[in-house]
Amino acid sequence: MYIYKDRLLQEKNLEINDNEKEIIFSTVKNEKIINWLKTHGFPESFIEDIQSEDQSLTYEETETFKLLILKYIKFDEEENLLYDDSNVVIIITENKFFVLAEEKEIITEIAKKFAKRYKNQDFYYVTYLIADILVDNTILIIDVIDEALEDLEDSIFHEDIEEDELQKDIYYARRTLNRISKVAIQTKDVINRAYNRLPPMTRKKLKYEFIDINEHLKYLINESKTLLDRTGYLLNLHMGILSTRMNKAMQRLAAISLIFLPLTFVVGNYGMNFDYMPELHWRYGYLFVWILNISLAVGIFIWLKKKKWI
């Protein structure tokens, strides 16, 4: 658990002080957080909801607290270009600001980024700052995907490329971009609802901060859709190149068959069992057949070469 007091503090036995205004970063299953919520009137159903990863992005407000659920997009540890998302729960009370997530690594990263940017302002600004950190993290992932798609585009033209890996990467990229687009649209809605519920003076004070985060979300939505179209283009390009390679392979096989077809015809004629075949008892008959076959093969080969079949 982290508590911000002029600086970021991390202690295993750190206690929540009801009499102080605190910004707390922790996991959603931290017993101290759960006990604090229970003792301050939060029902079991509320705690179950914030601990569930199935909970969608939302903004709720009552007389005693505000709740925002946003998404943190993270790298998958096993698969390239596949990303997962995890809930980030924000609970705001009169003198407590909780930032909760399922994984400790996510909370640690958010807390460290927050400590670098925080300017000792009110909880409304903290709400913007946490949301902006999550959006900026997603923009970094979009940039990574953009660079990865450029590498994929270059690799498509290499003959030694692994087809299965390429198709899997494109599939994972499409899946991730679809998810980012949906999350960005939902986040935009949640942020706007939270902003519209702020006091008028606070809205005026934070106007440009929320305009900035909305611009970032618009960029995410547009860029994810653009990259999604690009993955479709890469998939079509890949399939087109595969088709071209297959056609060339079939063309070469057809050319080889075309060379040997007349040779098979000649040899087949001399394989027939007739008594009266003039070349059978001719001294140079064997040599004649060889010269005929070689001439036919070379002639057809040269013709195919001119036609660029070989």
For the sheet with 83-92, list strands across it: 7-10, 2-5, 22-27, 96-101, 83-92, 66-75, 58-61
Domain 2-244 indexed as CATH 3.30.460.20: yes
Residue 64, CA atoms < 13 Å, CB-side half-sphere: 5
Longest Cα–Cα distance in the chain: 120
Closest CA to 176 of 234, 220, 235: 220
Specify the pLDDT at position 153: 80
- 2-244 and 247-306, same CATH topology: no
What dihedral do alpha carbons 289, 290, 293, 297 form, nearest 10°? Answer: -170
Specify the pLDDT at position 133: 92
Q: Which of the listed CATH numbers 1.10.260.40, 1.20.58.340, 3.40.50.300, 1.10.3290.10 matches domain 247-306?
A: 1.20.58.340
State the pairing for strand pair 96-101/83-92.
antiparallel
The pLDDT tens digits along the chain (310 residues) read 777 666 666 665 667 777 778 888 988 888 888 888 888 888 888 888 888 888 888 888 888 889 999 999 887 767 777 888 889 999 888 888 889 988 888 888 998 888 888 777 778 888 899 999 999 999 999 988 888 888 888 877 776 667 777 788 888 888 888 888 999 999 999 999 988 888 888 888 888 888 999 999 999 999 999 988 888 887 777 777 777 778 777 888 888 888 888 888 888 877 777 777 777 777 788 888 888 888 988 888 888 888 777 7
Specify the pLDDT at position 13: 61
Specify the pLDDT at position 240: 73
Q: How far apart are CA 133 and CA 213, in angstroms?
A: 10
Specify the pLDDT at position 135: 92
Q: How far apart are CA 167 and CA 51, in angstroms?
A: 35
What are the domain boundaries of the chain? Answer: 2-244, 247-306
Find all residues with CB under 8 Å of 31, minimum gap 6, and list them: none
Specify the pLDDT at position 9: 62
Residue 129 to residues 74, 192, 216: CA-CA distances in angstroms? 19, 14, 13
